Amino acid sequence: MRIAFFTETFLPKVDGIVTRLTKTVQHLVAAGDEVIVFCPEGAPDSFMGARVVGVPAMPLPLYPELKLALPRPAVAEALEGFAPDLVHVVNPAVLGLGGIWLARTNDLPLVASYHTHLPKYLEHYGMGMLEPLLWELLKAAHNQAVLNLCTSTAMVEELSEKGIQHTALWQRGVDTDLFRPQLRSQATRLRLLGDHSDSNALLLYIGRLSAEKQIERIRPVLEAIPEARLALVGDGPHRQQLERVFAGTPTTFVGYLAGEELASAYASADAFLFPSSTETLGLVLLEAMAAGCPVVGANRGGIPDIVSDGSNGCLYEPDEPDSLVRATRRLLGDEAERQGLRSAARQEAERWGWAAATDQLRGYYRSVLSRSLSLAA
């Protein structure tokens, strides 16, 4: 198959969407497919055998890490030269809308996927009143597609309820070779602790430092559990605000980590806290679980698809003020239970390899192409 991706998010950015896309491209190419990726400029010209076409882009004012790329004639020319069998638009925004238009113009089967719960982000940027309008725009874009893929059952249900048609689940994936418990390291632990003493209660957050991640909710945990230490790995537009929020607490701002350094960070912590209630999946939770780090996540969105409360991790209720504190205390309170959660978390992660997720995606592609051929006959 010849597949053209349009995405607003790609390398060198670091997030769960980029991880899923890069792993998907890698496995598609390994399976013999030809791939081209249209994305904001700044990415390499090729990746794992796929051609990458960078498109001039401008930063989104409220979220400078995200860039809006405006489609131009060179995109249409490159797409026509590649002659794809189908177009896959990831999180359609400005460039994605161009991909939708080009797919329709060239009579190409269109697949779209939903990864970022943008309507729920709006309230964290003081624009909650725009949520109904954004849903209408998303519905208009996604309903151009033959198939709309979601990364959790909760998102399949919510998009269907909002009027988005032809939804299906694109199963989760994680690199269990990279993220593994054996990378637990005292040197990494000391780096995460910064200048703070080791109290056997090292809490970890990994991800974007942005308003919608609700990282401020961890501050009461540090106040309620004085022996706890916190490491925040990642960066983003909310970092300066968070530095003020966590001033005076035993918190280390580590910055970005990648590769085995990142995997070792997961493996070296005592608990992974992920307070966000806006996640369509929460890939970092799977990475933490693969590394054998006990997790606490919100009982919202795609997270309950991953975390079974009391079995392979703990869930907290975002609407209950002390729920995150209670869940963290429960996880830290019993060493034997925590070791059981570590083992169960790793076992859950081992069920979800990227190869299987990409095989499922290729099956969806084949189904879409067969349907298109049937309609053309």
* Contact criterion met (CB below 8 Å) for 295 and 345: yes
Least confident stretch, 1-5, 24-28, 198-202, 228-232: 198-202
What is d(CA 254, CA 246) in angstroms, rounded to the nearest whole number? 14
What is the chain's mean pLDDT, rounded? 91
**Regarding predicted confidence, which is higher, 16 or 145?**
145
**In the predicted structure, residue 44 carries a pLDDT above the cut 80:** yes
β-strands 63-69, 2-7: how paired?
unpaired
Output DSSP code: residue 22. Answer: H
Closest CA to 37 of 55, 19, 50: 50
**In the predicted structure, residue 123 carries a pLDDT above the cut 90:** no
What is d(CA 20, CA 321) in angstroms, rounded to the nearest whole number? 33
User: Taking each helix axis from N to C terminus, what angle separates 16-30 and 354-376, rounded to the nearest 10 degrees?
Assistant: 70
pLDDT confidence of residue 67: 74
How big is the CA angle at 50 (ends 44 and 55), to the nearest 5 degrees? 50
State which H helix or E strand residue 206 sits in: strand 202-206
Average pLDDT over residues 233-241: 94
State which H helix or E strand residue 240 sits in: helix 239-245
Are 2-173+353-376 and 181-349 the same fold in CATH?
Answer: yes
Average pLDDT over residues 14-40: 95
Return the CATH number of 181-349, one of 3.50.50.60, 1.20.1260.10, 3.40.50.2000, 3.30.9.10.
3.40.50.2000
User: What whole-number percentage of the chain has pLDDT above 90?
Assistant: 74
Return the CATH number of 2-173+353-376, one of 2.60.40.10, 3.40.50.720, 3.40.50.800, 3.40.50.2000.
3.40.50.2000
pLDDT confidence of residue 358: 96
pLDDT confidence of residue 377: 44
What is d(CA 266, CA 285) in angstroms, rounded to the nearest whole number? 10
Average pLDDT over residues 15-37: 95
Give the pLDDT confidence of 338-369 residue by residue, as tens digits. Answer: 889 999 999 999 999 899 999 999 999 999 99
Domain spans in the chain, listed from the N-terminal domain onward: 2-173+353-376, 181-349
Average pLDDT over residues 17-21: 93
What is d(CA 250, CA 233) in angstroms, rounded to the nearest whole number? 14
Place of tokens 């703990």: 314
What is d(CA 131, CA 119) in angstroms, rounded to the nearest whole number? 5
Which token pair is 51?
């051609």
What is d(CA 231, CA 254) in angstroms, rounded to the nearest whole number? 7
